Amino acid sequence: MITFILSIVLLVLAYFTYGKYVERTFGVHNERQTPAYRLKDGVDYVPMGKNRNGLIQLLNIAGVGPIFGPIMGALYGPVAFLWIVLGSIFAGAVHDYLTGMISLRNKGAHLPELAGKFLGKTMKHVVNAFAALLLILVGTVFVTSPAALISSLTPDWVTMSVIIGFIFVYYILATLLPIDKIIGRIYPYFGALLLISAFGIGAMLFIKGAPIPELSLENMHPAGIGIFPALFFTISCGALSGFHATQSPIISRTTEKEKEGRFIFYGMMIAEAVIAMIWAAASMSLFDGQTLNEMLANGGPAAVVNEVSIMMLGGIGGTLAVLGVIVLPITSGDTAFRSLRMIIADYFNIEQHSFMKRLYIAIPLFVISFGLTKIDFNILWRYFNWANQSTAVIALFVGAMYLYVKGRNYFIALIPGIFMLYCVSVYILNQKIGFNLPMNISCIIGAVITLGLLIMFMMFAKKQKALKLRLDDDADIAA
């Protein structure tokens, strides 16, 4: 219990300390007019208040990641706590803040546009492909996972196909309509349900004196799966997630003041980490590793969510908790498709004020996603994890380049970027979805790849700085 309490305290303190340092390093200008006002179009560029933006950002980035990931990560034991805390403070929250604020400085641009500007034109096309793959997988995963949870609460005659159909209808509306018409209006209610469920589980851990294990670096995975690099892919959204880089630009287009960025981007990542800590702690305290592994094998993370909720909060409270969990993937799936629609529009320079042009882009995306729902969830999740963390690496290097060219402490983004680049390299070399090489060989080749890409990055960064890369969208505003 002491480890759990200290972890929560460290996360909260980080927002007021390291978060403040990251904000000061970036250098906000509160007098600068944000894209929400400068490019206001009533569809995607709509000024909204800090609290509403923060809540939307939290729901956008959360998905099932900070719940399903920590539940599966709990198999490794308390070492998962260490990754959630350190990963979110020094990697995830930095990643979210920099992508959100750099986007805000560049007309609300999405990651492919930012990668093209800061890492070279070729990267724009590479990242566009990565983002499209990631978001279509996210959208699909966040259809099937809430559908499974809803199915557990509904009569047998309500089939999965019917539930999936209703979710798709909502996603289509949320993707096409102006952001303040659906997302801006219903998210406060969804947010209340999310917070009630998460903090309800957390409170019961204290009230019932749950035997939450203390910190240990021992690998407790019952199947003997190694901590490195698997843990850093199993728990992503609760610590570091490239998916967030696709979501932050949505809110950069609705943010009213630059000063609000720390609360919206850094703060909401910390809030997500707290949610991840609660579910990881609940899973470790209520089940031993073997039991948890069997539950995941037979019913998946959704079965664990249902069991934990009922055990901790009873029938009525447990149902409310499950509903709160259902909210998470639905409120990330809708913005995953919305973000993908915006990225494609930016890539092909298609204006989005016209409803029909938004529709032409969106419909093929939903057709593809519906087809992917027929694929096993575990297969989708493996590819999602790899694409997710690869995107996080790119986003961190975009942040590092921005800070380097501005002459500021770029190590706050570069160090976590190097670490995750190494993890991604080893993962794809070692896993069956990649090259299926032995772990020792994967680690050596991964180190060579990481070093080589780092040298290339630094050479390109010096060139960009020498050319005095234009950082902001308005040349007449001092950076």
- For the chain, the domains span 2-466
Residues 6+ apart with CB under 8 A from 414: 396, 397, 400, 404
Instruction: Flag the least confident range among 8-12, 350-354, 440-444.
Output: 350-354
Query: How large is the average pLDDT for residues 368-377?
Result: 76
Instruction: Flag the least confident range among 289-293, 401-405, 443-447.
Output: 289-293
Integer CA distances (angstroms), 448 to 126, 331, 387, 421, in order? 21, 40, 21, 11
The answer on pLDDT for 476 being more than 50 is no
Question: What proportion of the chain, given as a percentage, has pLDDT over 70?
Answer: 94
The answer on pLDDT for 307 being more than 90 is no
Closest CA relative to residue 261, chosen from 403, 61, 103, 475: 103
Query: How large is the average pLDDT for residues 423-445?
Result: 92
Lookup: tokens for 43? 């569809």
Instruction: Flag the least confident range among 125-134, 336-345, 468-477.
Output: 468-477
In this prediction, residue 413 carries a pLDDT of: 98
Closest CA relative to residue 392, chosen from 384, 404, 380: 384
> Which band of pLDDT confidence, cut at 50, 70 and 90, is reported for residue 27?
very high
Cα distance between residue 133 and residue 386, in whole Å: 11
Mean pLDDT of the chain: 86
Q: Nearest 5°: phi and psi at 107?
A: 60, 25
In this prediction, residue 98 carries a pLDDT of: 97
In this prediction, residue 478 carries a pLDDT of: 39
In this prediction, residue 150 carries a pLDDT of: 81
pLDDT digits (tens, 9 = 90+) for 138-154: 777 777 777 877 877 77
Lookup: tokens for 452? 């080589």
Give the torsion through C-alpha atoms of 346, 382, 449, 451, to 10 deg: 80
Neighbours of 287 (CB within 10 A): 21
In this prediction, residue 200 carries a pLDDT of: 84
In this prediction, residue 475 carries a pLDDT of: 41
b or e along 137-163 (b: 16 or more beta carbons within 10 Å of the residue's beta carbon)? bbbbbbbbbbbbbbbeeeeeeeeeeeb
* Residue labelled with tokens 């499950």: 322
The answer on pLDDT for 479 being more than 60 is no
pLDDT digits (tens, 9 = 90+) for 179-211: 777 777 777 677 777 777 788 888 888 888 888
Closest CA relative to residue 246, chosen from 128, 87, 349, 354: 128
The answer on pLDDT for 63 being more than 70 is no
Q: Which residue type sits at 108?
A: G
**What is the DSSP code (8-state) at residue 220?**
-
Lookup: tokens for 81? 């706590």
CATH architecture for residues 2-466: Up-down Bundle (1.20)
Q: Is-cis flag, bond preceding 229, omega within 30?
A: yes
Residues 6+ apart with CB under 8 A from 313: 200, 201, 204, 320, 321
DSSP 344-366: HHHHTT--SSSHHHHHHHHHHHH
Gyration radius of the chain's alpha carbons: 21
In this prediction, residue 378 carries a pLDDT of: 63
> Which band of pLDDT confidence, cut at 50, 70 and 90, is reported for residue 388?
confident
The answer on pLDDT for 26 being more than 90 is yes
Lookup: tokens for 378? 């575990």
The answer on pLDDT for 316 being more than 70 is no
Closest CA relative to residue 446, chosen from 422, 464, 467, 468: 422
Closest CA relative to residue 3, chosen from 62, 81, 87: 81
Q: Nearest 5°: phi and psi at 208?
A: -85, 0
Cα distance between residue 234 and residue 219, in whole Å: 14
**What is the DSSP code (8-state) at residue 255?**
B
In this prediction, residue 289 carries a pLDDT of: 85
DSSP 31-77: TSPPHHHHT--SSS---B-HHHHHHHHHHHHHTTHHHHHHHHHGGG-
Query: How large is the average pLDDT for residues 423-440?
Result: 91
pLDDT digits (tens, 9 = 90+) for 216-244: 888 889 888 899 999 999 898 889 998 89
pLDDT digits (tens, 9 = 90+) for 38-50: 999 888 899 999 9
